[in-house]
Amino acid sequence: MLRVLCITLLGLEAAFSEEDRSTAEWIKKLEARYDETGGYIATYQGQSKDNTLGSTVAFDKASGLCAVEVSGNSDGKDIQFRFWTTSDDTIFMDSGNGRRARIDGIRSELSYLVSFKKIASGLSDPITTFDLTLSPGFLLEADTVGMGIRSTHDQKTDWFNAVKRASVQAVNKSNVVFRTKKHGDISISRKTGIMTAQSIPQKDGSDRSIKLTDLKANPGQENLEKISEDWSTLGAQKIAVGVYNAKTRRQTFQQVITGIEEGHADLGKLEKKLEEDEVRLRRFADASITRKPDSLYEDPLWKKLLPDIKRATRRAWLKNIPGSKPATEKDFKIFLMNPEVRAGLRDTLIEKFASVPGVSDKVPTDIFQMPLNDALITTNEAGNAARNVIKESLTKAYLGAVVDRKMAAAWGEREGLD
């Protein structure tokens, strides 16, 4: 009898401790399960009063490839939306009506920012800024669907963000059900950390709901690529993303400055990294280019500088042509494509533009979307020195990236120019 009583009490204690877990404790446990997966292809089916919905959410953590597709019927109309990444660092978007777009270089930019982690290591505050990656997002909203490719700190997806302020509604052997204010009830698998169901009550008493119908764990890069191999990219318009990552850039360089101010890093390491990574820095700067009416890229001075430098270059070129050889426009265009010539012209244009009053202040505003002294805060002389080094390097890299684009647009693309 005593033995039975002990077993019963132990069972009650286990049940009580599980039910008594807080939201934060459950999220931590489920996130740990999610982190153990190498990726997944999750298929969902859903419906509301008059609409049907199907979705595929796919992720390979090792390669960073993502794909999200939503299709169905809404108010009698067929719908289809797709977001996916490629191994050559492009995000594609397809709205299903022939309108397509692309974003290039996101992972390259994130990778460059992450590479500063070692310089600022040892900070008193955790450097979550440096844990950057892309991940797929999919979640029902009150009357629409949220989906896309997100920039995240920890490879987590939308359902974990949605349940952070939720209450635990139910727990069973398979799932934990969270009740949220905005996204209704969200069920997450205790085994995988992947969302298995979502249900949002409607004003008419019905529910908008989705349910996991198939799950392939750890599919690998090849199977991720197969999902989108037949998805069309025809006519995809390039989107400049300079504005969107401004906050992440500010946070990253602020962490570096703080690391130097606190003595966990030294200025020499920062200078060395910026110098050694000059080409990579320019590629980062290219991804940061902002194209707004008041941006450096749209400055009307370019319309004067480019023709002026081209005329001066042509005069110098003509002087070096033997008298017996005719000078043709085709020959001059070939000359302009020479990588050494193009690199020299880039340096000349950078120097000329950098000498224009206010340009060195305008570059950080384009990159960080606010003036440098507001974007990067310093508290001592070491921080001021670090900020000046960052400003000088970013100005040169950003101007170089803008010049490369301007020359390519005016004189033709030159591949392999670093």
Which amino acid would we find at residue 194? I
Average confidence (pLDDT) over 198-226 = 93
Using CA atoms, how far apart are residues 252 and 145, in angstroms rounded to an integer?
Answer: 31
Round the average pLDDT of the chain to a whole number and report it: 84
Report the residue count for the chain. 418
Per-residue model confidence (pLDDT) at position 277: 77
pLDDT for 75 beyond 80: no
pLDDT for 324 beyond 60: no
DSSP 40-94: EEEEEEEE-SS-EEEEEEEEETTTTEEEEEEEEEETTEEEEEEEEE-TTSEEEEE
Show which of 198, 217, 238 is a domain's final residue.
238
Q: Which domain holds residue 31?
A: 18-238
Are 149 and 272 found together in one domain? no
Show which of 220, 238, 256 is a domain's final residue.
238
> Between 302-319 and 329-336, two packed helices, what is the crossing angle to 10 degrees?
110
Per-residue model confidence (pLDDT) at position 3: 39
Assign 98 a pLDDT band (cuts: 50, 70, 90): confident
Are 252 and 224 found together in one domain? no
Environment class of residue 345 by beta-carbon count within 10 Å: exposed (0-12), middle (13-18) or buried (19+)?
buried
Per-residue model confidence (pLDDT) at position 243: 65
Q: Lowest-confidence range among 12-16, 194-198, 206-210?
A: 12-16
Number of domains observed in the structure of the chain: 2
pLDDT for 132 beyond 70: no
Average confidence (pLDDT) over 229-253 = 83
Q: Is residue 147 part of a domain?
A: yes
38 with 30: CB under 8 angstroms? no
> Which of 7-21, 26-40, 291-305, 404-418 has the highest average model confidence (pLDDT)?
26-40
Are 35 and 160 found together in one domain? yes
Are 175 and 47 found together in one domain? yes
Assign 41 a pLDDT band (cuts: 50, 70, 90): very high
Show which of 238, 272, 298 is a domain's final residue.
238
* Helix, strand, coil shares, percent, the chain, to 5: 45, 25, 35
195 with 203: CB under 8 angstroms? no
pTM, 2 dp: 0.68
pLDDT for 108 beyond 80: no
